[in-house]
Amino acid sequence: MARIPTLILGGTGYVAGELLRLVLGHPQFEVAGILSDSQPGEPVAKAFPHLAPALGDLRFLSEADITQRVTTLPACALFSAAPHGVSAALIDRLLAAAAAAGTRPRVVDISADYRYATPEAYAAVYKHAHGAPARIAEFTCAVPEHLAAAPTPHVAHPGCFATATLLASVPLLALDLVVPTLFVSGVTGSTGSGRKPVEGTHHPTRHSDLYSYNALVHRHIPEITACAAAATGVTADFAFVPHSGPFARGIHATVQATLKRAIDTPTLLAQLRSYYAHSPFVRVTDAAPRVKDVAGSNYAQLSAATNGRTVAVLCAIDNLNKGAAGGAVQWMNRLFDLPETAGLTAPAAGWT
């Protein structure tokens, strides 16, 4: 099979770097360009020295360069890790240029710009108008495990906290096991805040510390609610408290809810295993999940416990991989009718 030209938007960010790492090792995707409007012409290895052995003389491209590739490649994979509020209009311009040229890129957006079904829902969360409201209908937002195939030509991947929470919550709602009020506590690594240094990611502030932020008002809550409803038909109430953890990569989420009927832990674990039986990247274990067992991989580890009245489902993922770049590659594999696992089966690094 011919290699699939792959373009990455988002330049020097952590998620763009993780996308680049995954595409460089993919059996079918081939890097055809990576956009950085702030550093066009600069070596990509300057931003991602850990990838230098595989990059050669690859250099960042301008938007004009990316447009030229989109309009001359008959088909390509286009990943956007551009910032929220920027990605929508950028994707819109590229898709419009492709349509005029008769080419057919497939897009997976990792920003928040196409995660909401209406421009009003997006604006309510992000406090500015959507950059391309007419394009929203061309995108579907879902965790790959919760939608067999996208009904639209393009996909929006949920956020990293949303991914972990949905993997833990959706089976409870879909199997009608719990009262639809769920309490979520999630801890994320510092890479979840992006590459630009801020107080929350400054090492002396974050090292050996743990603290919550945006309790019960985090911007992922409407996204989680909408994606859970789309996957299960149940509109649940999510009370979410995020935390900043003293590590770089990973998310650990704990979801608690009240059971509708008594169930013991072995039975609950069996139901979770059955629900994810055909999901190659979800492992349900008896032992509680650990971030180090998934960091650097596209795998999610779940476990659960119940006392007969309350259930707790625990989920660990890598925020940059399963929660962003890896989940996006998983979707792009599907969009090109490739095996869902292509390029994503490497296990966690361990001891990160």
**Angle at the Cα of 108 from the Cα atoms of 104 and 110, rounded to 5 degrees:** 150
CA 60 to chain CA mean position, Å:
23
Asked if 135 and 88 touch (Cβ cutoff 8 Å), the reply is yes
Q: Which residues does residue 212 pair with via DSSP β-bridges, in sequence order?
A: 243
DSSP letter for each residue of 193-258: G-SS--GGG-HHHHTT--EE-STTT-THHHHHHHHHHHHHS---EEEEEEEE-SSSS-EEEEEEEE
Whether 160 is a known active-site residue: answer: yes
Q: Which two tokens stand for residue 186?
A: 């999630």
Asked if 18 and 320 touch (Cβ cutoff 8 Å), the reply is yes
Instruction: Pick the catalytic residue from 141, 160, 227, 315.
Output: 160
User: Taking the C-alpha atoms of 178, 181, 186 and 191 in order, what is their torsion angle to the nearest 10 degrees?
Assistant: 110
Asked if 213 and 201 touch (Cβ cutoff 8 Å), the reply is no
Q: Which two tokens stand for residue 339?
A: 């095996």
Q: Which two tokens stand for residue 243?
A: 């935390």
Question: How much is the CA Rg of the chain, to the nearest whole Å?
Answer: 20
Burial 93-130 (b: 16+ CB within 10 A, else e): bbbebbeeeebebbbbbbbbbbbbeebebbeebeeeeb
User: At 283, which helix (H) or strand (E)?
Assistant: strand 282-284
The residues annotated with a catalytic role in the active site are: 160
